[in-house]
Amino acid sequence: MVITTLPASWFRSKPLYALERQSIFLRAWHLLGPVIRFSVPEEKVFYELAQVRFYITNTAENGIKAYIADTSSPLRTYLTASGLLFATLSDEAPEFKDFFPNLEPLVDRVDFTRLRYRRSISYEGHFNWKTMIDGYQECLHCVYTHPTFSALYPPTFYSVEPYTNFCRHIADPSKPDDGLFLYFFPVCTLNVYGGGMSSFRTCPTEEPGVSRMEFDYYHEGTDEEFEKYFSFVRQVALEDFELCEGAQRNLEAGVYSQGVLNPEKERGVAYYQGRVKELVMEAFQREKEKRLKEQEAMEKDKGPNDGLTMKTRAIEM
Ligand SMILES: [Fe+2]
């Protein structure tokens, strides 16, 4: 069976993003980072995902909690035994274990709390959130786009394994603690490579062609070692950034409409795009049924009355 990509229009449509927001973002669990990110007592760490602004605080009294910024209403959080903190954006999200049924046995083998939190950066890019995830979920582009990365992690071994709502990437099977990349559907990642760890979120804005990249960096070494690691991973991120802005320009030019995915080398892209399609189509169907019911109810309501009004109007005329 041929696996096709999502149509190019899905990367530039506002109504489509409205469906994604309802059916994907508000119904998911999002990785906020390893628990060490929240180690400063009372500090509020702010996030904005799919136009929901919220913060995390860690207090002696209540532990780690998430609240919506404007209303202070609580959001659900989940902390894995390996120290990864996740949160929901609405009550529409299922239970953590239903969203990620097989995540914990896998990530609990790695200690994500051994590295110190060092720095966060954030900036906007001209690309849809899926344009960035497309690139993240395969490494066919690595050899051309990331010469320094490919020298350390040759793409020969690179593999992506899809689970439920997350994927594990392994750069080199002989080094399970280095070159480990985790993708959490829809937009969060955790990347252990180059001697440190980073986590990024590709936050969709209301403009389908603009996303905000947010990165958090973790490293245990000296300041000098951290800066060396930082410039290495920043180089890789900038290479991806340029690739995504170029890809988005093509998606918006209207020349390309749909392509075919390699079932092996683009397995990760096929997996996450399949989830997007499935959830958006379900939301579209729900919306259609809702509108049909509303229309039927309206017609039922105005049935005989409307006839009367029409007659009265005819007489008046
Ligand atoms: Fe890349």
For residue range 54-92, list pLDDT tens digits in order. Answer: 999 999 999 999 999 999 999 999 999 999 999 999 999
Q: How far is the CA of 140 from the centre of ligand 1 (A)?
A: 9
Instruction: Tell me the pLDDT tens digit for each residue of 248-269.
Output: 999 999 888 999 999 999 999 9
Distance CA 133, CA 219 (A): 24
Per-residue model confidence (pLDDT) at position 317: 39
One-letter identity of residue 283: A
Separation of 132 CA from ligand 1 center, angstroms? 9
CA of 239 to the centre of ligand 1 (A): 7
CA 240–ligand 1 middle distance (angstroms) = 5
8-state DSSP, 127 = S
Q: Are 187 and 202 in contact (CB under 8 A)?
A: yes
Residue range 182-204: mean pLDDT, rounded: 95
Which pLDDT band, with edges at 50, 70 and 90, does 155 fall under?
A: confident
Question: Which residues place a Cβ less than 5 A from the ion ligand 1?
Answer: 240
| Spacing, Cα 31 to ligand 1 middle (Å) | 20
Six token digits for residue 88 = 């929901």
**pLDDT tens track for 16-47:** 999 999 999 999 999 999 999 999 999 999 99
Both tokens assigned to 102: 């097989």
* Phi/psi of residue 215, nearest 5 degrees: -120, 140
What is the residue whose two structure tokens read 């990785």?
31
The alpha carbon of 146 and the centre of ligand 1 are apart by a number of angstroms equal to: 7
Q: How confident is the model at residue 163 (pLDDT cuts 50, 70, 90)?
A: very high
Backbone angles phi, psi at 189, to 5 degrees: -140, 160
Confidence of residue 304 (pLDDT cuts 50, 70, 90): low
**Domain parsing of the chain, residue ranges:** 3-289
C-alpha span between 143 and 272 (Å, rounded): 22
CA 241, 244, 248, 251: dihedral to nearest 10 degrees?
Answer: 170
Whole-angstrom distance, CA of residue 307 vs CA of residue 301: 12
**Rounded distance, CA 251 to CA 117, Å?**
36
Residue in the block written with tokens 């973002």: 25
d(CA 76, CA 247): 36
Q: Which CATH number fits domain 3-289: 3.20.20, 3.30.70, 3.90.380, 3.90.320?
A: 3.90.380
CA–centroid distance, 149 to ligand 1, in Å, is 9
**Residues 181-196, mean pLDDT to the nearest whole number:** 94
Q: What is the mean pLDDT of residues 176-197?
A: 90
Cα–ligand 1 centroid distance for 154 (angstroms): 13
pLDDT band at 274 (very low <50, low <70, confident <90, very high): very high
Question: What distance in Å separates the CA atoms of residue 175 and residue 195, rounded to the nearest whole number?
Answer: 12
Give distance in angstroms: CA of 133 to centre of ligand 1.
10
CA distance 214 to 231: 16
Q: What is the 21 CA–ligand 1 centroid distance (Å)?
A: 25
* Span from the CA of 283 to the centroid of ligand 1 (angstroms): 31
Q: In the prediction, which pLDDT does 178 show?
A: 78
The lowest-confidence range among 101-110, 240-249, 274-283 is 101-110
Q: How remote is the CA of residue 215 from the centroid of ligand 1, in Å?
A: 15
The values of phi and psi at residue 24, to 5°, are -110, -65
Distance CA 95, CA 31 (A): 14
- What's the predicted TM-score (pTM) here? 0.91
> For residue 289, how far is its CA from the centre of ligand 1 (angstroms)?
40
